[in-house]
Amino acid sequence: MKLAHALALSLTLVVTGCKKKDDPAGAGSAPASGPATASGAGSAVASGAGSAVASGAGSTAASGAGAAVASGAAVASGSAAPAEVPADGLKLPRGLPKVGDKETKAEDMRMTLTIEAGPGKTVEMQMAKHSEETSEVLGVDGGTKNKIKITYTTVTENQTTGGKSRDKPSPIAGKTYVVWREGDDVKATLADGSAPPAEELAEVVDKEEELGTPNSIDEIIASKVWKVNEKVAFTPDELAKVNARQNPKSEEKKSLEKMELTLIAVEGGVARFNMTMGMAIKNPKGSMSMAVSGTARADTASGHLLEIEGTGPVEGVMGAKVSGTLTMKTVATY
């Protein structure tokens, strides 16, 4: 199941920005001395928060129920278990990748933040990201995909700070790359085998940093027995196993603090879950935490993630104190 990767993409869309360069001069950069400006801090948090949820969350489960949860409507907890859920519970397969597998994924993330720019002064910031990509597995090692060809069909980002809006173009939009893991490093070329410019390479490596590492969340979810309306929480040992999947060279430390999934129903071969996640991020710019609640859908035959969506509060300090709300959605087809 891809619950893992979306989790580490939603735990690994919110964080991406924190790892990237600061805003260009004049667009929110911190002054040479003194505290970071509201715009600069907002950019770091918005991007960083976006990475965390888009990757971590992206991997869990649901759609029809998702709308209800996102809007605050409760899902009936006393309903009878549908016939598609065995009496002794549902087991989801751990779908191991194979060469030739293809995936198309669309991700959306929006954040609204209030930044404390100084004593008695706040600045409002909104950020929206949208991406669409298609990938094909080119190599597998020990049940883990370690080489892919990926096309970033669409990559857009817009930030509005203090009423001023600007787009942040991505150098990888519309381009195709071959990406693989070599030891501790992720490497990439353009589709024709040539080396990409440094800015493109850095963004691709950042996006695909977990390529070639075992997907612990998939393994954990496949180990569980799922019964309708029974909440399943990851144990401390399971959370530690998930958090071990990080780039040791990265200055940023992401951690899944909480993961709870509740099977709501299985209809037409699709399992629907309610989901609650808690995440934390620390890097040289500061720290922040997120609590995301929502839903997810997964294919019961393959274990593949079909859709995940959620919303929740974000708070922390990234050059300045920030608080706000994050909303994300990931849709995948295979």
pTM: 0.76
Answer whether 153's CB lies under 8 Å from 132's CB: yes
- Give Cα separations from 249 to 145, 174, 214, 281, 284 (angstroms): 21, 29, 17, 15, 13
Q: Which residue has the higher pLDDT, 263 or 67?
A: 263
**Region 212-224: what's the mean pLDDT?**
90
Task: Report phi then psi at 222, rounded to 5.
Answer: -70, -20
| Alpha carbon distance 185, 247 (integer Å) | 9
- How is residue 226 annotated by DSSP? B
**d(C-alpha 188, C-alpha 55), whole Å:** 20
User: Which range is least confidently modeled, 98-102, 147-151, 206-210, 233-237?
Assistant: 206-210
State which amino acid sits at residue 323: S
Mean pLDDT over residues 158-177, rounded? 95
Confidence at 319, pLDDT banded by 50, 70, 90: confident
Average pLDDT, the chain: 80
Q: What is the pLDDT of residues 252-299, one digit of tens each?
A: 888 999 999 999 999 999 999 999 999 999 999 899 999 999 999 999
3-state secondary structure (DSSP) of residue 310:
strand
